[in-house]
Amino acid sequence: MVFKRRDRRSPVQIASEFVYPKGGWTRAFHYVKHRVRRLPDSPERIARGVGAGVFTAFTPFYGLHFVVAALIGRLINGNILASLSGTFFGNPLTYVPIGVICLQTGHFILGGNFEKEETKGLMKNFVDALGDLKNNFLALFTDRVADWRGLAVFYDEVFFPYLVGGILPGLLAGAICYYLSLPLIRTYQQRRRDKIKAKFDEIKRLAETKPAVPQPNALGSDLGFKKDSSDV
């Protein structure tokens, strides 16, 4: 394959680079920022896509953030690639703070009691829930006994409060990122157009000032190849 990696990564390397990318999170952030600014689309659509991706980071659909971001970006007429890049806002360094904010807000809106212990094993709760969901799905085709009690508790205490509580902070964070990224993208695109125009103008100026090279006529008279009729 043309685009296949020469150095194949092991599962351990893939997992470690997900937690801490090669080159650090700062370099990864600047890479994503650079890719977003160079997207061939209007600044408004790109900024809407970024906002959709940031909002998606506040949803509890772990493992499906790309899909959710693409759907939301499509719904609000944003750039799909920008929405996928915007999900970078949710990463292993921000998942816990985002989870705390969403759970606190969700329990407050629903009138429930928020326990700080719920956020200590937040990712483990999601992993365990996915495991239970897989086992219950396999139970439909085997002789296993499906047990939905754990998923019911997870839904009532974690997932639904997270979903409800992530709406307001997600909208706020998405709107902030939209209004911050819009002028930056607009300025970058204008500067890039000016640089391209200046480069073409320079090429045109050099072409106009270049002295014309005399061209010989078809019979080669300017080179002295024309024979006199008396020599024949």
Average pLDDT (102-117) is 83
What's the pLDDT tens digit per position in 63-81?
889 999 999 999 999 988 8
Residue-wise burial string across 1-25, b where 16 or more C-beta atoms lie within 10 A, e elsewhere: eeeeeeeeeeeeeeeeeeeebeeee
Output 127 or 20, whichever has higher pLDDT: 127
Average pLDDT (100-114) is 87
Residue 90 CA, distance from chain mean position: 11
Is there a contact between 36 and 182 (Cβ–Cβ < 8 Å)?
A: no
- The answer to whether residue 229 scores a pLDDT higher than 80 is no
- The answer to whether residue 225 scores a pLDDT higher than 90 is no
d(CA 155, CA 3): 41
Q: What is the pLDDT of residue 217?
A: 59
Output 133 or 78, whichever has higher pLDDT: 78
3-state SS of the chain is CCCCCCCCCCHHHHHHHHHCCCCHHHHHHHHHHHHHHCCCCCHHHHHHHHHHHHHHCCCCCCCCHHHHHHHHHHHCCCCHHHHHHHHHHCCCCCHHHHHHHHHHHHHHHHCCCCCCHHHHCHHHHHHHHHHHHHHHHHHCCCCCCCCCHHHHHHHHHHHHHHHHHCHHHHHHHHHHHHHHHHHHHHHHHHHHHHHHHHHHHHHHHHHHHCCCCCCCCCCCHHHCCCCCHHHC
Is there a contact between 83 and 73 (Cβ–Cβ < 8 Å)?
A: yes
Match 């703070």 to its residue by tokens: 97
pTM, full prediction? 0.69
7 band by pLDDT with thresholds 50, 70 and 90: low
- % of the chain with per-residue pLDDT over 70: 70
What's the pLDDT tens digit per position in 145-192?
777 777 787 888 889 999 999 999 999 999 999 999 899 888 888 887
Q: What is the pLDDT of residue 86?
A: 87
Average pLDDT (11-30) is 48
Is there a contact between 196 and 38 (Cβ–Cβ < 8 Å)?
A: no
Q: What is the pLDDT of residue 156?
A: 84
Count CB atoms within 10 A of the CB of residue 229: 6
Match 């407050």 to its residue by tokens: 108
98 band by pLDDT with thresholds 50, 70 and 90: very high
17 band by pLDDT with thresholds 50, 70 and 90: very low
